[in-house]
Structure 1
Amino acid sequence: MESLILSATRFIPAQNREMSGVVRSFQSSFYGKEIGNKLFVSKDVDTQRRSRATITSLFGRKVKKATVVPTVVPDPDYRIPVVLLGLAGGLGYTDNLLAAAPVGLLGLLLLFQTTRVRFVFDNEALEVKVGKELDESGENVFVGGKNRWKYSTFVNWELWWPNFPVLVYFKETQTKPEGQVHFFPVIFNGKQLYDIMVERAGPSQTSGPK
């Protein structure tokens, strides 16, 4: 449409200034169309080009979005306490009460802890919390300090044993500069625990649980 209008102006007699003015007015209206949601009315083609370039620069710029790191809480896993309670029952059935008592107590303790203790992996640290509301667990009874450790302070970690994870071990330098070792029974989903540890704390020497 624009090319047709421009071609038509070449055949208009120079003396017909009134008709030429109408055509130029129509051309001006055409160039004043809405571009990029902005209305530009200009008599100068160079000005229009600069305006279009400004719009391209404004709307063509890529804006980086902040990466959202979700908080992950592995599901509880009751296999270890169930196995311990079953073993205690078997020992009691064979009248081996001396061994059945501590194994049974440990099974009951882990069963209780499985219902309330959670590993919470947020964007910067692993924290041990308790209860459905994920309340703070207070200070560590063995080494002191809050039960929260930044991933950046992890020196090493392992999951024993991958096929039937029983213990998770990690060493961090947040509690003390020379490093502090922690052991926790795996009362959580072992596969979920392994995957999130690899993602947040880096790879381990152990293979993933099946």
Structure 2
Amino acid sequence: MPSVSPTPSPTEPSPTVVELRPSYNIPLVLVVAGIPIGFLNLWVGAGVALFGLFLLFQAATLRLQFTATDLDVYRSGDRIRRFPYSEWQNWRIFWTRVPILFYFKEINSIHFLPIIFDPRTLQQLLEARCPRRD
């Protein structure tokens, strides 16, 4: 008889490591917006579209992983940065209705990231693992 694993109860802790799914919304909007802008000004439209393509590439290759103690950034499976929550002073997601930018401040640096990841999960994980200190 096959064994059936019990479904997790709502009281069980969340997984230790959570990887955010990519969100292609902002890159695609920029690529599409570059077309009509290009009719008004070719260079500006091309710049907007190229920036959208750059963000599309970043969304496809970068991954954010939330661990119990750190936010890790991976590119193609290799960790490229680690941000320990203990060094965070504040964080914020700008324009929560249409999230486009994620900001966080560490003791020695400030970081701005475009929202190229699932914004709802990002906010839930930030609130759970690194409560805001306004």
TM over 0.5, yes or no? yes
Q: Which has the higher contact order (CA 8 A, sep 6+)?
A: 2
Q: Residue in 1 aligned with 2:111?
A: 182
Aligned length: 122
Flag the structure with higher strand content.
Answer: 2
Distance in 1 between the 2:133 and 2:36 partners?
Answer: 36
Distance in 2 between the 1:167 and 1:82 partners?
Answer: 15
Name the aligned partner's letter for residue 79 of structure 1: N
Q: State the Cα deviation string for residues 122-142 of structure 1 (Å, max 9, x = none).
A: 1210011012xx2122xxxxx
Distance in 2 between the 1:80 and 1:171 partners?
Answer: 23
How big is the alpha-carbon RMSD for the aligned residues of Structure 1 and Structure 2? Answer: 1.7
Q: Where in structure 1 do 4 or more consecutive aligned residues deviate above 4 Å?
A: none
Structure 1 residue runs of 5 or longer lacking an equivalent are 1-66, 138-146, 174-178, 206-210
SS state at 2:89 partner: strand
Mapping 1:17-36, distance limit 5 Å: none
Distance in 2 between the 1:161 and 1:150 partners?
Answer: 25
Flag the structure with higher helix content.
Answer: 1
* TM-score where L is the length of structure 1: 0.55
Identity %: 35
> Structure 1 residue 159: deviation in Å?
0.3
CA contact (8 A) 2:70 2:83 kept: yes
Name the aligned partner's letter for residue 118 of structure 2: N
Name the aligned partner's letter for residue 110 of structure 1: L
Structure 2 residue runs of 5 or longer lacking an equivalent are 1-12
Name the aligned partner's letter for residue 104 of structure 1: A
Q: State the Cα deviation string for residues 164-191 of structure 1 (Å, max 9, x = none).
A: 1111000112xxxxx3101111100100
* TM-score where L is the length of structure 2: 0.84
Distance in 2 between the 1:150 and 1:95 partners?
Answer: 45
Alignment counterpart, residue 90 of structure 2, candidates 156, 161, 164 = 156
Indicate the structure (1 or 2) with the bigger Cα radius of gyration.
1
Distance in 2 between the 1:129 and 1:96 partners?
Answer: 36
